[in-house]
Each structure stands twice: as C-alpha cells, then as structure tokens.
Amino acid sequence: MKIATCLAMEVVFCGVFCLAQTSPSTPAKKSVAQTPGYTVTVTEPANPISLESSIIVNLTVNNITNADISWRWRHETGEDLVYKAFHFMLKKDGREVETTLFHRKITGRQREGDPKEIDEGGTVLIAYPPGIMFTSKIDLRRLYEIIEPGQYTLEISRIAEDNKTVVHSNTVTLNIVP
C-alpha cells in the first residue's frame, strides 16, 4: 500500500513539472528580419592602377528609407572619422593584405611592439534624411601595405546600430600593375 501511494505521489509530482514546461497555447511571435535603412557603395578608381600611385576609392552611404536615419559618429574631427566608422577588408589571393599600424589601431588589432594609444572621446548622433547621406574618399594605402601587383578585392562593411545586422558594400576588384 505504501508503495502504491508513493508511486501515485511521484506520478502527480512529475506531472506538475511536465505541465510547467510545456509551451503556451498562444502562438509565438515570429521575428521579422530587419534590414538596415542604408546602403554602402564603393567605387574604385579606373583600372589599371599603378603600384606606385595612390589608391583612392569612393565610399557612398545612401539612406534608402522614407525617414531620417540616426547615425552614431565618434565625437572628433578629421578624416580618420570615416575610417573608424567602417570595417575594411582588402584581399589578394583570398587572404587579407598586410595591415598598417593605423588600420590595426582603429580596429583594436594591435600587435606586440605597436605603440599603445588611448582612444578617448565619446560619440554624437546625427540624423540623415533620405537620399545620399555622405560620400568620402578612402586611401587604401593608409590601411594596407600594398607592395605587389595583382588583383585585389575590397569590401567595406558596418554594423547597423539599430538591429545589429552587418551592412556590406559591393565588392570591387582592383587591378594593380607594376
């Protein structure tokens, strides 16, 4: 009799825990994939590009919504502002090209022996209306040690602050000749 009572108590006890772990009968909210409200476009210089010349690409960011977009910028001045706002990836033969000290500094990938600098300052929020938000010239030699001819591919990206998706630019091919 004691065994039957204990067994009955176990069944009731376990049943309560099983019910507590079942899903509610209300349908779950489906997450809607959010898309960022802007595009990033890179325009390369005319090919071929001389190994000895500057390698300047144009970066254009376009608000593709019907409303203002808030964009967080570092609270500082100068041309480094745009470099710090994006992630640059230049590849040759499928591998990232050797980075400069400046590139390692702005991406936090400093190596042993690189000078340590304190990155001070806050951020400021700027609202951009629909259309072209801004354009900027990017000097790839500030970011990469480009020392040999060949075909290079470049992609620029940024993490959208509102939904944490990565916004990728178009991929451009740079034909660098001796």
* CATH label of the domain that carries residue 119: 2.60.40.2970
In a domain, 55, yes or no: yes
- Residue ranges making up the domain that contains 169: 35-177
Whether 28 is in a domain gets the answer: no
Residue 30 belongs to some domain of the structure: no
Whether the Cβ atoms of residue 177 and residue 55 lie closer than 8 Å to each other:
no
Instruction: Evaluate whether residue 82 is within a structural domain.
Output: yes
Q: What is the pLDDT of residues 73-123, one digit of tens each?
A: 876 656 678 898 899 999 999 999 999 988 888 877 777 776 776 556 677
Using one digit for the tens of pLDDT, what is the confidence trace for 34-64?
678 899 999 998 878 999 999 999 999 999 9
Q: Does residue 51 fall inside a structural domain?
A: yes
Tell the residue number behind the tokens 């072209």, with chain if given: 132
**69 and 38 Cβ atoms separated by less than 8 Å:** yes
Inside any domain, residue 18? no
Buried b (16+ CB within 10 A) or exposed e, 22-38: eeeeeeeeeeeeeebbb
150: confidence class by pLDDT, cuts 50, 70, 90:
very high
Mean pLDDT for the chain overall = 80
Residue 117 lies in a domain: yes
**Into how many domains does the chain fold?**
1
| For residue 129, cis peptide bond before it (omega within 30 degrees of 0) | no
Share of the chain above pLDDT 90, in %: 46
Examine residue 147 and state whether it is found in any structural domain, yes or no: yes
